Amino acid sequence: MALPSTLNRYLLLMAQEHLEFRLPEIKSLLSLFGGQFISSQETYGKSPFWILSIPSEDIARNLMKRTVCAKSIFELWGHGKSPEELYSSLKKYPVEKMVPFLHSDSTYKIKIHTFNKTLTQEEKVKRIDALEFLPFEGKVNLKKPQHVFSVLEDYGLDPNRIPENPHNIYFGRWIADGQRELIESYSVKKRHFIGNTSMDAGLSFIMANHGKVKENDIVFDPFVGTGGLLVASAHFGAYVYGTDIDYNTVHGLGKASRKNQKWRGPDENIRANLRQYGLEKYYLDVLVSDASKPSWRKGTYFDAIITDPPYGIRESTRRTGSQKEIPKGIEKCPESHVPVSLSYHLSDMFFDLLNFAAETLVLGGRLVYWLPVYTPEYTDEMVPWHPCLKLISNCEQKLSSHTSRRLITMEKNRDQYSHLLSDQSLPYQGHNSFREKYFSGVTKRIAKEEKPSQE
């Protein structure tokens, strides 16, 4: 694809984790900061090296203030499939673009980064010496250089077949690092209040990025649990609000999820989690409420709905009962009896969630949620849809040999829809048996593992 000449080329060094989530994250963030995803590369499959074109360095810096999928970004000065190709590409890079970073008053350092191969110090020095033809006039400063340049060599993805020579070599000026350190600093291991299903920190930030959460947004999680997703959104400056059907979770009561601790302590709750990270000012509130019966007046309140609904594996999928919904088969109940809770079928839950999002999101607002699937039967048609919500991305995370969950991101692109509803909008019923299918696989595996000892 021919690139517009006003765009500069950048090299993104991606983390080799959650591969499918990377492209939607980068695309979402670029669209948030006014950039468009333009790239000359055909695929982004599994490689950690992505070349993309961005109109300004500011957009590149903003991107790196948010991404947890990318490690670093470089202004790309040259690229080749061999050292010779790299050098000739570097010779074509406009000198006027290099000079501001190479002049005699500046200090610099050159780093060598290899993927899937380790070089000796001697080999690294050779690579640096070979760049002598570049007009470096500043002084080398290894400790605190003003400018850092990198040679990045790509030896492919197969650790069992490492080639003698790299497939690709890049040279660029380092601009910024991403936010990988958030994964450690917000780790649930060190979190004040956690539960059995607290969302992993890295995935929570990815979800907030897919949701294009930004400063002063209002973000809602209708299945809030211990608020893992609120924490990530608040970190990006959004005001957060959540509901959960479970009184104990919302009030931070009941049994603790940590080993060596029987009961939750007096201040184990979502507000305290936000306080732990200096984010308490972004806490709006959390309420006990059933997502199947939203108690909101008509209106568009949320910039994003980011949530992890229950799958019925480690937490039950329940909803409150009501007089209208007394299930068949309990005719013996006195007329006044209202069941405390009913089971909440997964397909109804997703249907309700999409309807709720279509009604309460602002135009352009995003819904990001996890959909559990039984992989042998999964097809893209099973993903719930809604006439007002456009599917943005659908990324798989494997849970077991036969189950996975898919991170679905949708964007509200239309307000009025009742005339567009058809039979097709009815929920796909197959999600309902996820629990049975999940456990059927687990039971089979346990039976298999136990077999040798029984013989």
Of positions 198, 347, 409, 432, contacts ligand SAM by CB under 6 A: 198
Number of residues that bind ligand SAM (CB under 6 A): 25
Q: C-beta of 310: minimal distance to ligand SAM in Å?
A: 4
Tell which one of 145, 195, 252, 387 touches ligand SAM (CB under 6 A). Answer: 195
- Long-range Cβ pairs for the range 53-58 (8 Å, 24+): 53/3, 53/4, 53/7, 53/8, 53/9, 53/10, 54/7, 54/8, 54/10, 54/30, 55/6, 55/7, 55/8, 56/8, 57/8, 57/175
Q: Provide the 3-class DSSP secondary structure of residue 5.
A: coil
| CA neighbor of 210 nearest in space, from 18, 398, 47 | 18
Query: Which value, in Å, is the radius of gyration of the alpha carbons in the chain?
Result: 26
Q: 154 or 308: whose CB is closer to ligand SAM?
A: 308
Binding to ligand SAM in span 339-358, by CB under 6 A:
344
Three-state SS at 101: helix
Stretches 108-116, 170-178, 232-240, 313-321: which one binds ligand SAM (CB under 6 A)?
A: 313-321
Q: Would you give the DSSP letter of residue 198?
A: P
Query: Helices (DSSP H) in 70-192: which residue ranges?
Result: 83-92, 95-98, 121-129, 181-185
The answer to the question of residue 246 lying near ligand SAM (CB under 6 A) is yes
Structure token pair of residue 371: 């959909």
**Is residue 435 close enough to count as binding ligand SAM by CB under 6 A?**
no
CB closer to ligand SAM out of 28 and 289: 289
Indicate whether 170 belongs to the interface with ligand SAM (CB under 6 A). Answer: no
Quick one: which segment of 116-124, 289-297, 331-339, 390-398 binds ligand SAM (CB under 6 A)?
Answer: 289-297
Cβ distance to ligand SAM smaller for residue 112 or 284: 284
Residue 244 makes contact with ligand SAM by CB under 6 A: yes
Min dist. Cβ of residue 332 to ligand SAM (A)? 26
Task: Say whether residue 286 binds ligand SAM (CB under 6 A).
Answer: no
Whether 19 contacts 46, CB under 8 Å: yes
Q: Site for ligand SAM (CB under 6 A): which residue of 197, 375, 404, 425?
A: 197
Give the residue among 339, 212, 232, 352 at the shortest CA–CA distance from 296.
352
Tokens 């890295």 belong to which residue?
202
H helix count then E strand count, the chain = 12, 16
Of the listed pieces 6-14, 160-168, 311-319, 379-387, which binds ligand SAM according to CB under 6 A? 311-319
412 exposure class (CB count in 10 Å sphere: 0-12, 13-18, 19+): buried
With binding defined as CB under 6 A, does residue 292 bind ligand SAM?
yes
314-346: b or e for each residue (b if 16 or more CB lie within 10 Å)?
Answer: ebebbbbbeeeebeeeeeeeeeeeeeeeeebbb
Contact call for residue 268 and ligand SAM (CB under 6 A)? no
199 binds ligand SAM (CB under 6 A): yes
Q: Give the shortest CB-193-to-ligand SAM separation in angstroms.
A: 9
Taking the alpha carbons of 70, 72, 77, 82 in that order, is the dihedral positive or negative?
negative
Closest C-alpha to 176, from 12, 310, 404: 12
Question: Interface mask (CB under 6 A) for ligand SAM, residues 204-243, using x and -?
Answer: ------------------xx-xx-xx-------------x
Is position 290 an interface residue for ligand SAM (rule: CB under 6 A)? Answer: yes
Contact 435, 399 (CB under 8 A): no
319 makes contact with ligand SAM (CB under 6 A): yes
Task: Tell me how far, at minimum, the Cβ of 387 lies from ligand SAM, in Å.
Answer: 24
Measured from the CB atom, is 116 or 233 closer to ligand SAM?
233
Is 245 a binding residue for ligand SAM by CB under 6 A? The answer is: yes
Nearer to ligand SAM by C-beta: 123 or 325? 325
Cβ-count burial of 207 within 10 angstroms (0-12 exposed, 13-18 middle, 19+ buried)?
A: buried
202 or 225: CB nearest ligand SAM = 225
Site for ligand SAM in 105-144 (CB under 6 A): none
Instruction: Write out the residues near ligand SAM by the rule CB under 6 A.
Output: 195, 197-199, 222-223, 225-226, 228-229, 243-246, 249, 290-292, 308, 310, 315, 317-319, 344
